[in-house]
Structure 1
């Protein structure tokens, strides 16, 4: 007989925790019982990306749905460690509350921080003090290596800039971007446009990293900006495919001019 979840728990949060316990229990789900913290990380990452897509789409229903999936995965990871006797959900919550209060002295103490920049400066200073006098590693050590390249580049750029290793203004970094583009173009020409040269690849990487710095000066997060551009392209391309299908044509059978007519229509529909 299929088991049913008792909906009479005190809170929805408690019911979600109970659900996870049931799935991991002796008579629970074989797949869930097999998971370990390392195997679950893949699904946590996937769910976070789906949540990001939902947020950028602007659809509240999708955000609600995907946020629930992320919450489930986070609680699932915590439960796995709780099973091993390391910590429980209460430990996680209490530790985070103490950390957030400690890192917001301008809210819960007598420190003044009137701008987001000052808040960020205080935050970094407090994080450093939390290391209890231990030898300080590189500022870059705490940046997760598993981040997407653009997101990681943004964090590296921000950390380095906080030491004063930065351009004076956006015009300086834009000039650097043009310089890097020229170097890439020169190297690409030397490689006969094939782009197979390791040097050409490195130069292209320099272009991307410098553009990440341009984005930082412009207060744009490069990962989010690229996701939005990809979504816009996908919407437009799918429109083209649909219109071609309506006309009884395949995309690869359209002429260059016919494709651009549909692209211009798509640009109007998906700005």
Structure 2
């Protein structure tokens, strides 16, 4: 088993060499926080994909890529005299100890539900310390929009501002769909782009909350739908390829037939 302390030290040294202003990599030398941030987000999604695939070797590789992003940001912060990787590691360790007094302190054991409530209370106290006031404070704007929608209304729900159940959310979904239809059917007028954006946004927001009410992650739901679409459309392309054709060569009805065939195959395989 690899020595974790030695491995981390080696990784930090590698990062320092890459950023060395004289002997480092030209690409790494010119990067800064804004240019690296998109890669950090991308690597987090690749970790999620590796988990979904269930391949340990891929997960190991992607976790390494994500860890490298943390080391990268810490190195840039150290160069500015802000903090170093050790400070990052200490800060998160201290936070976990602080948020788990039933493990590291003298409090009694908690159920999962009690720990969730205590965790949120501790987070609220930390936000107040940072002068982040209000029920919705502290939710990063950069979160995926569906995830942020679910988190916003989960926060609001804790103070009683919420739909009573999933059925009520479905009613709201039908209301929003009607408003979108009305916007599309205004006689003699070209649909207003801003109004359409607003109505579609409302639909997506309600859908995110429908998933929340069903104890589902809306991002996970959509990722699953994306994978399903890719799989079924791939079936269409492959079937047409065997016929010496491409999707652009056939009618929509023919592609729909193949789509339904893909669905039947999935049901039979399941």
Structure 1 Cα separation of the partners of residues 127 and 252 of structure 2: 60
What's the counterpart of residue 111 of structure 2? 114
What's the counterpart of residue 73 of structure 1? 69
Deviates more, 1:192-201 or 1:38-47: 192-201
SS of the equivalent of 2:205 reads: helix
Structure 2 Cα separation of the partners of residues 140 and 163 of structure 1: 11
Change (3 A) 1:34 1:208: same
2:248 pairs with 1:252: yes
Question: Alpha-carbon deviation of 1:215?
Answer: 0.9
Change (3 A) 1:265 1:132: closer
What's the counterpart of residue 16 of structure 1? 11
**1:1-271 mapped onto 2 (5 Å cutoff):** 11-25=6-20, 26-109=22-105, 110-111=107-108, 113-116=110-113, 118-131=114-127, 136-190=132-186, 195-270=191-266
Q: How many residues align?
A: 264
Question: Alpha-carbon deviation of 1:104?
Answer: 1.7
Give CA deviations for 1:19-53 in whole Å, capped at 9, x if unaligned.
11221123121111111122211211222222223
Give unmatched runs, 5+ long, in structure 1: 1-6
Change (3 A) 1:156 1:9: closer
Deviates more, 1:137-146 or 1:72-81: 137-146
Indicate conservation of the 8 Å contact 1:237/1:263, yes or no.
yes
Change (3 A) 1:28 1:270: farther
Give CA deviations for 1:124-148 in whole Å, capped at 9, x if unaligned.
2112323566755233231111222
Give CA deviations for 1:67-100 in whole Å, capped at 9, x if unaligned.
2111111111111112222112211111111111
Change (3 A) 1:125 1:181: same
Q: Name the one with the larger helix percent.
A: 2
Q: What is the CA RMSD across the aligned residues, in angstroms?
A: 2.6
Deviates more, 1:227-236 or 1:194-203: 194-203
Structure 2 Cα separation of the partners of residues 239 and 193 of structure 1: 40
Indicate conservation of the 8 Å contact 2:127/2:137, yes or no.
no
SS of the equivalent of 2:185 reads: helix
Indicate conservation of the 8 Å contact 2:240/2:247, yes or no.
yes
What's the counterpart of residue 4 of structure 1? none
TM-score by length of 2: 0.86
Structure 1 Cα separation of the partners of residues 59 and 266 of structure 2: 21
Structure 2 Cα separation of the partners of residues 193 and 107 of structure 1: 64
Change (3 A) 1:50 1:193: farther
